[in-house]
Amino acid sequence: MPGVVVAGRYRVVEVLGRGGQGSVVRAVDDELHRDVALKVIGDDELGHRARREGRALAAVRSAHVVGVFDVRDGAGRDEPALLVLEFVAGTSLRVILDERSITVDEVVAVGLGVLAGLEAAAAAGVHHRDVKPDNIMVRTTDLAITSSSICLVDFGLAIGRGDPRRDSVVFAGSPAWLAPERASGDASLVDDAAADAYSLGVVLLEALLGANPFAAPTVAQTLLRHERDVPPPATVGRAPGEVDDALAATVAGLLDKDPARRLTVAGAHRALLARTSPTVPTPPLAGPTSATTSSKSHALAARRAAPALALVAGLALVVAALAWPAPPGAITTTTTVEAKPIERAPTAPAPTAASTPPPVDVVAPPAPPAQPPPAPTTTRTLAATMASTRPARVLPTPWPVGLAGRRRLLAAACADLPCAAAALVPVPDDLTALTAHKGSVDACLARCAER
């Protein structure tokens, strides 16, 4: 395919990727002498999708969203449907996460860049609906990721203002990053903006942990994890204090199962900006309050709240029984203590010889043991509260793909095992020794998980 000229002006240089709908190639525009990315859709019947995606992208103006130059549906011409896009020089976040662990500041930079793109798209009435590491490009080739280098790509599943699919298509996106309400099958429960916020929360948690905690062998198991599982805290596998409370609370707010309580894209953007810039006031981490979003979650909340309502009703009966006044003559255990001011005892007159009693031996009672001072009262943070309700050792499943992430997880969660010393050994250069080193790290993680 390299060297082929498409649509009379785009000369293909290399194939960047292939998917179910076609392929993405890098090409040179012979008319304007610039690099472009061509999304070539092989099936002529899918030309309307290229046109729809092009119109959605054309409505968005943001450096964090890939630009569109032209669209050709292929109708009436002997050529495939074609979408001409900006060529983003760089690599995807998926490739970076598979190769290395990124820092907390880089995670925040990813969040800021994606949130800026989602806000710009939402302002134009467009929602991405497939936010995942594969669709997040990092423009720079430097070692550090910055927010200005983040670009959202692949709006093939995006939905725009006035799109007839808005009220009919529910299951859209990739299962490992899919909002739980999308699996309900009820379009009235789905808010596309809230679903995009949840998907970003999964991306940020995956970047912090080194693995997606919702990924499972089958699609059904993955969707069930989104529906029921409480995600691990964002601090797992990181050094103490490395993930601050503001970032952990932001990620937890994005991952709220209820779209009505979930942190909005705008709220998360303000929270991360306040974390990086002290001059920006920290907003309350609250979800959307609009009547539209709230009504969409009523049925979902009612379905989940039945066990909790039963528990609350039982507790109310117990409290009412305890608070009911006792009948006359009944023995109660309530003791009333009257507080009185402390009065100084009057000074006794000096004893005289006649009134002085004879000396007697008095045995003083043993002094009571010294009581330790009360522990100071502290305010528990969200991350500390979540961590206290979980086992001391939490291993995300599946383990990180890259060796660096598995070594960091081993050193953080299994440091008390003798085999954990393998995480502190420098990575060998020899291929045979490297293979043996990977095996020892995985074996120690397996032993740690069984304990």
Segment 37-94, tens digit of pLDDT: 999 886 655 667 778 888 889 999 999 999 999 988 765 566 778 899 999 999 999 9
Kindly list the distances between the CA atom of residue 253 and the CA atoms of 14, 281, 285, 322, 349, in Å, as whole numbers in the listed order: 41, 18, 7, 37, 72
Q: Which residues contact 195 (CB under 8 A, 6 or more apart)?
A: 127, 129, 173, 178, 179, 181, 182, 259
Beta strand 136-138 with 5-6 is unpaired
Q: Which of 237-251, 354-368, 431-445 has the highest mean pLDDT?
A: 237-251
The DSSP symbol for 132 reads S
Give the Cα separation of 338 and 69 in Å (integer). 83
* Minimum mean pLDDT range among 191-200, 269-278, 322-331: 322-331
pLDDT of residue 352: 46
Give CA torsion, residues 375, 379, 380, 383, to 10 deg.
-140
* pLDDT (tens digit per residue) in 178-203: 999 987 777 778 899 999 999 999 99
Computed on alpha carbons and rounded to an integer, the radius of gyration of the chain in Å comes to 31
Give the strand order in the sheet containing 5-6: 5-6, 10-18, 22-29, 34-41, 81-86, 68-72
Residue 10: what are its φ and ψ, rounded to 5°? -105, 110
Residue pointed to by tokens 């009134």: 355
Q: Nearest Cα to 201, choosing from 290, 262, 144, 242?
A: 262
The catalytic residue among 30, 35, 105, 130 is 130
Give the Cα separation of 332 and 229 in Å (integer). 45
Instruction: Give the helix ranges, DSSP H, for 5-164.
Output: 47-58, 93-99, 104-123
Cβ atoms of 50 and 81 closer than 8 Å: yes
30 in active site:
no
Helices (runs of H) and strands (runs of E) counted in the chain: 12, 9
Residue pointed to by tokens 């890098």: 26
Is there a common fold for 5-86 and 91-283? no
Q: How confident is the model at residue 371 (pLDDT cuts 50, 70, 90)?
A: low
Give the Cα separation of 198 and 255 in Å (integer). 5
The superfamily (CATH) of domain 5-86 is Phosphorylase Kinase; domain 1 (3.30.200.20)
Q: How confident is the model at residue 323 (pLDDT cuts 50, 70, 90)?
A: very low
Q: How confident is the model at residue 340 (pLDDT cuts 50, 70, 90)?
A: very low
- The CATH class for the domain spanning 91-283 reads mainly alpha
The residue ranges of every structural domain in the chain are: 5-86, 91-283, 402-450
The DSSP symbol for 189 reads G
* Minimum mean pLDDT range among 158-162, 275-279, 290-294, 382-386: 382-386
Q: Which residues contact 206 (CB under 8 A, 6 or more apart)?
A: 97, 133, 212, 213
Give the CA angle between residues 434, 438, 440 to the nearest 5°: 115
pLDDT of residue 46: 61
Residue 6: what are its φ and ψ, rounded to 5°? -110, 135
* pLDDT (tens digit per residue) in 413-441: 777 777 877 666 776 656 566 677 777 88
Considering all CA atoms of the chain, what is the largest pairwise distance in Å, rounded to the nearest integer?
Answer: 132
Q: How many residues does the chain have?
A: 451
User: Could you tell me the two tokens for 373?
Assistant: 């001072």
Residue 337 has pLDDT above 50, yes or no: no
